[in-house]
Amino acid sequence: MKLLRSLAAAAFLVGSAIYLAAEAIAASAWKDPAYSYADNWISDLGSATSGVFQGRELNSPLNVVMNSGFIIQGLLFGLAVVLLSRTLTGRARIFAGVMGIVATIGYVLVGTFHGSLQAQQDGTLWLHFTGATLAILGANLLSLVLGLHWRKAPETRAIGITSIVVGSLGLVAMVTLLLTFGAGLPSGAIERTSVYTIVVWQVAVAIWLIRTRSTSIAAGATTAPTVN
């Protein structure tokens, strides 16, 4: 159990670090026009073609870096969640495993099929948006549901509450993005909220796993009431 927790924590931390680094590197190479964290979407950094798409002008010289970051993050996230699921019981274990796979598929789709005018024209845009939905919805829903599971036991209540707050914020941001698309709001910032909550959850769970891997809290995660 100790090894599983350590490996899960490592996968969460490495995945989140690579993802954030890929985004920062790709954004720094975007010079003309300047990349906007408020208005440009994260997936704009992965567009392999330049041009106007949904009112945003795309020009990402290091799109390969961003797409690699998406895929690596997805694979490591899935690995971490599958390992984490081994510390759970009953329906919580099954749910975590399924959501880990769903989020992984989402990230890989986002990194493989890009959001661009070309994708809209060649009919692959739906694969990109399907991937984004699977990744964002799957990971934030996982955070929320595991939070509800963990909060039932005193040993895991703190990480449970943290997971509930983070997952709920991510889901609210996702819904807000869908409802306000084209309304003139900073859609890039709203999208980032729904994505960065995933990274925050990864880091929070990783720290919790590392801090508790040698204590009886490991048992608390296993014996906490199952999700019914």
DSSP states of 71-123 as a string?
Answer: HHHHHHHHHHHHHHHTT--HHHHHHHHHHHHHHHHHHHHHHHS--SHHHHHHT
CA-to-CA dists, residue 133 to 18, 108, 174, 188, angstroms? 21, 12, 9, 15
Domains of the chain, residue spans: 2-223
pLDDT of 21-64, one tens digit each?
999 999 999 987 889 999 999 999 999 888 888 888 888 999 99
Residue 133: CB partners within 8 Å, gap ≥ 6? 106
Task: Please tell me the number of Cα atoms within 13 Å of 47 on its side-chain side.
Answer: 27
User: Residue 112 and residue 131: Cα distance in Å, rounded?
Assistant: 9
Instruction: Calculate the CA 85 to chain-centre distance.
Output: 17
Cβ(146)–Cβ(208) under 8 Å? no
Supply the pLDDT for residue 50. Answer: 84
Q: How confident is the model at residue 88 (pLDDT cuts 50, 70, 90)?
A: confident
pLDDT of 123-171, one tens digit each?
899 999 999 999 999 999 999 999 999 999 898 899 999 999 999 999 9
Q: How confident is the model at residue 197 (pLDDT cuts 50, 70, 90)?
A: very high
Q: Which amino acid is at 206?
A: A
User: Residue 199 and residue 78: Cα distance in Å, rounded?
Assistant: 13
Three-class DSSP category at 48: coil
What would you report as the CA-atom Rg of the chain, rounded to the nearest whole angstrom?
A: 18
User: Residue 29 and residue 148: Cα distance in Å, rounded?
Assistant: 41
Q: Per the structure block, which two tokens stand in for 134?
A: 């699977």
Cis peptide before 33 (omega within 30 of 0): yes
Supply the pLDDT for residue 214. Answer: 60
What pTM was computed for the model? 0.89
